[in-house]
Structure 1
Amino acid sequence: MLWSALLLPRRDETASPTDPALEALALWALQFTPRVAVADEAVVMELAASVRLFGGWRALRERVALEGAELGVGKMAWAPNSLAALALARAGLENGWRQPLGEVLDSLPMDTLSAVRPHRLTLAHIGCRTLGDVRRLPRGGVARRFDRSLLAALDQAYGRAPEGHRWIEVPERFEQRLELMFRVDDAAALMGGARRLLLSLCGWLAARHSGTTAFTLHWAHDAMRARSAGEGGCLTVHTAEPTRQIDHLGRLLAEHLARVSLLAPVGELRLCADEVLPLEEKSRSWLPDDDAGGEALPLVLERIAARLGPERVQRPVLREDHRPEAMCRWQSAAEALPRQSVASSALPQPGFILPVPLKLLVRDNRPCYQGVLHMLLGPQRVEGGWWDRDEANGQIRNVVRDYWVAQSAQAGVLWVFQTRLDEAPAWFLHGVFA
């Protein structure tokens, strides 16, 4: 068994499990293990089954310490059970896992164990200073003079009796508040508190094996504000794909906040997950080149779109349409990608499509483009578009065409078609093969 205890500063042993700071820390911890509980003023979690998943004890310890510090964790300890880990954290010692547990606990001050604290004055009068002193007292006398919870807690801390915990359950919806330590009048400075909320959000998403495509940061103005400023404001951030990467979500939120002007100082933040979707985990390659490419393209596009504006960064999206000019449309890179599919084709598709088909000359019933064209493959009839109406101009974009792959002595391989709806069928150049 491997337990970790995370202690927040300025909390006493009577802290409520519903303390917002403890709640936020417990939600964040759920990404490492489902066995998370609140014990007095600390959050404890059992991590034996998670060590290999997170790359070994050293890597797991470094991640817990790094992200925990951002959430305000003041002390952290590791031990074979939760009571021992909590006692070590209170004493300011970190590692009680690789050493004989009895020796480590015997040297700790006796009030590092919660069950001892109600009796510490009496125990001090009989000469007890450490947990080892309390443990060496006659068990019969301790049982008669003190309540049974003292002996039970000692047995559990020293590993002689099992522990019982009430595990934190993953809530169905994420909504968390954070009161700022001081009033903030610059939107960019809200990132300090917003990142703490994002860390809890990512932990909640990991526990649900999900990612978010939209989340909203709300802020409440200080009570001493102008009436025209209102009670607060909000900012919704969208992602094209479900994600729970804290660095990407943080950069994306920072880009949006850089364009916000606060109407009054802010004293409280609230973060909500608006859209949550299952996130499919992908197995990584064993080859070292798998991670050599840097940041993924969708993440880069989202950050650029947040900086320049959502309509200034576009990406192509495939559509189910047999007409080549309608097989693709452009949408904002910040919008979620729909499920993409494309109509099948019997002929090879060109790499480049002309925006407007170019009408070709015809000689002896043969189309010409930098010379007479020689037909290689075809025809393939493309027919449809009766549903595509331009009501403003009174047009129906219905087409009936026969496509061919043609060879030009000067221009190479081309994609041409012959119209069938017109009174006088004509030839057009529509694409060029790279």
Structure 2
Amino acid sequence: MLWSALKLPSPDEPLPSTDAVRQALAVWALQFTPRVAIAEEAVLLEVGGSLRLFGGRLALRERLWPGAQELGATALAWAPNALAALALAHAGVEDGLGEPLAALLDPLPLTVLSALRAHRMTLSHIGCRTLGDVRRLPRAGLARRFDAALLRALDQAYGHAPQTHSWVVLPERFDARLELPHRVDEAAAMLFGARRLLLQLAAWLAARHLGTTAFTLHWAHDAMRSRGAGEGGQLTVRTAEPTRAVDHLSRLLAEHLSQVTLAAPVGDLRLTADEVRSLPQLSVSWLPDDAQGQEPLAHVLERLSARLGEARVLRPRLCADHRPEYAARWQPVGQPLPSGARTVPPPAWPQPSLLLEQPLRLPVIAHRPQHQGELQLLLGPQRVEGGWWDRDEASGQTRHAARDYWIARSAKTGLLWVFQTRLADEPAWYLHGFFA
């Protein structure tokens, strides 16, 4: 077995670790292993079964330690059992695997184990300064003079006795709170605390193989606020696609916060996941990625939408409609695609690369359509009919279309997409698109 201990500040250190901080770090750690426990001022992870998944201990450390530091961890240690990892973390020794465990633990001070910390004054009077000093004392004398917890802790730390743990359970819904270290007067200053909450959200999503499309940041005003300021405020951020990328969510939240003005100083934050969706896992390519390190286009568009306004950044959405001019609709980038929007079957016939906004009526000579000369009909007809249900409220008419499409050739302009109407009193020809 392999254990890792993430130590938080002790109660006597400048930043006291609260239950909320320990719980937040534990939930975040669940993305690396399902076996996470809280012990004293640390979070313990049994990562023996996760090494192969993450590519070894060094690769796991590169992913584990930076995020743990952001959440307040001050030390990291590895050891064959949980209590030894906790003792090494207290002592500031990270690697507990390179030497025999006894050689690493014996020089450590008594304060690294809480069971010995309570008796350190008595032990110091009999000349014990380290764990090794206590371990060399007669066991019978230790058992008579001290409680059973002392010997049990020594045996567990040195791997001579088993340990039991209460595993942290992932909550069904994500709802996390954070008390800011000091009151903030500007909305942009809330991003520091909000990023910690986003780290927890990303870990919760990763453990459930989900991504979020909407989350809400709530803030509570200081108790000394004016009466008109209210209890607090909230900001909902939406994404076009499910994601759990912390950097992208932070940048997106920063854009929205830049447009918020606080009515009073803020001291507490709360983050909730409003909408989550399944996030399929993609296979990692063995080939080099030319775009590696670059921000995806979808993330850039979402940040531009947050900065410029939803109505100014649009994207096309495929629709299951046989009428070409209605086969795609424009919608805000931040608005999620409706379910089934990506399942529109591809057209069976070739489609033009450029579609005219309004079809151009063509002259007809001797029943032959003309466009800078007579057109030669190459392929068709492709019959399209639909829109009888689509009513234009302004004109009171339906947008029913019944057409026969052809691929035609013009001696001067190349391949064209033309159609002939079928419902009109007099059939007419129209130019609707150009092929590249």
Q: Normalising by the residue count of structure 2, what TM-score does the alignment of the two structures yield?
A: 0.95
2:159 match: secondary structure:
coil
Alpha carbons of 1:342 and 1:371: their partners in 2 closer, same or farther (altered >3 Å)? Answer: farther
Q: Which amino acid aligns with 2:303?
A: R
Alpha carbons of 1:26 and 1:344: their partners in 2 closer, same or farther (altered >3 Å)? Answer: closer
Q: Which amino acid aligns with 2:396?
A: G
Question: What's the offset of the Cα at 1:26?
Answer: 0.7
Q: Which amino acid aligns with 1:265?
A: P
2:165 match: secondary structure:
coil
1:45 match: secondary structure:
strand
| 1:47 maps to 2:73 | no
Q: Distance in 2 between matches of 1:283 and 1:346?
A: 30
Q: Which amino acid aligns with 2:334?
A: A
Which residue matches 1:217?
Answer: 217
Query: What are the residue-to-residue correspondences of 1:107-146 with 2, within 5 Å?
Result: 107-146=107-146
Q: Paired residues, what number?
A: 432
The answer (yes or no) to whether the contact 1:12–1:40 under 8 Å persists in 2 is no
| 1:366 maps to 2:364 | no
Unaligned runs of 5+ in 1: none
Q: Which amino acid aligns with 1:239?
A: T
Question: What's the offset of the Cα at 1:343?
Answer: 5.2
Alpha carbons of 1:192 and 1:344: their partners in 2 closer, same or farther (altered >3 Å)? Answer: closer
Question: What's the offset of the Cα at 1:85?
Answer: 1.1
Range moving further from structure 2, 244-253 or 294-303: 294-303
Q: Which amino acid aligns with 1:418?
A: Q
Q: Distance in 2 between matches of 1:93 and 1:2?
A: 16
Q: Distance in 2 between matches of 1:87 and 1:344?
A: 62
Which residue matches 1:246?
Answer: 246
Question: What's the offset of the Cα at 1:144?
Answer: 2.8
Which residue matches 1:76?
Answer: 76
Alpha carbons of 1:141 and 1:98: their partners in 2 closer, same or farther (altered >3 Å)? Answer: same
Question: What's the offset of the Cα at 1:400?
Answer: 0.9
Alpha carbons of 1:226 and 1:293: their partners in 2 closer, same or farther (altered >3 Å)? Answer: closer
Question: What's the offset of the Cα at 1:162?
Answer: 2.0
Which residue matches 1:87?
Answer: 87
Q: Distance in 2 between matches of 1:131 and 1:343?
A: 70
1:422 match: secondary structure:
coil
Which residue matches 1:333?
Answer: 333
The answer (yes or no) to whether the contact 1:401–1:417 under 8 Å persists in 2 is yes
Percent identity (aligned): 65
2:54 match: secondary structure:
coil
Alpha carbons of 1:274 and 1:351: their partners in 2 closer, same or farther (altered >3 Å)? Answer: same
Q: Which amino acid aligns with 1:407?
A: R
Alpha carbons of 1:12 and 1:64: their partners in 2 closer, same or farther (altered >3 Å)? Answer: farther
The answer (yes or no) to whether the contact 1:321–1:343 under 8 Å persists in 2 is no
Unaligned runs of 5+ in 2: none
The answer (yes or no) to whether the contact 1:213–1:238 under 8 Å persists in 2 is yes
Which residue matches 1:320?
Answer: 320
Q: Normalising by the residue count of structure 1, what TM-score does the alignment of the two structures yield?
A: 0.96
Q: Distance in 2 between matches of 1:48 and 1:154?
A: 23
Counterpart pick for 2:354 among 352, 358, 372: 352
Query: What are the residue-to-residue correspondences of 1:3-402 with 2, within 5 Å?
Result: 3-11=3-11, 19-289=19-289, 291-292=291-292, 294-338=294-338, 339=340, 340-342=342-344, 345-402=347-404
1:288 match: secondary structure:
coil
2:211 match: secondary structure:
strand
The answer (yes or no) to whether the contact 2:205–2:244 under 8 Å persists in 1 is yes
The answer (yes or no) to whether the contact 1:78–1:94 under 8 Å persists in 2 is yes
2:271 match: secondary structure:
strand
Range moving further from structure 2, 304-313 or 340-349: 340-349
Question: What's the offset of the Cα at 1:111?
Answer: 2.3
Range moving further from structure 2, 414-423 or 336-345: 336-345
Question: What's the offset of the Cα at 1:380?
Answer: 1.1
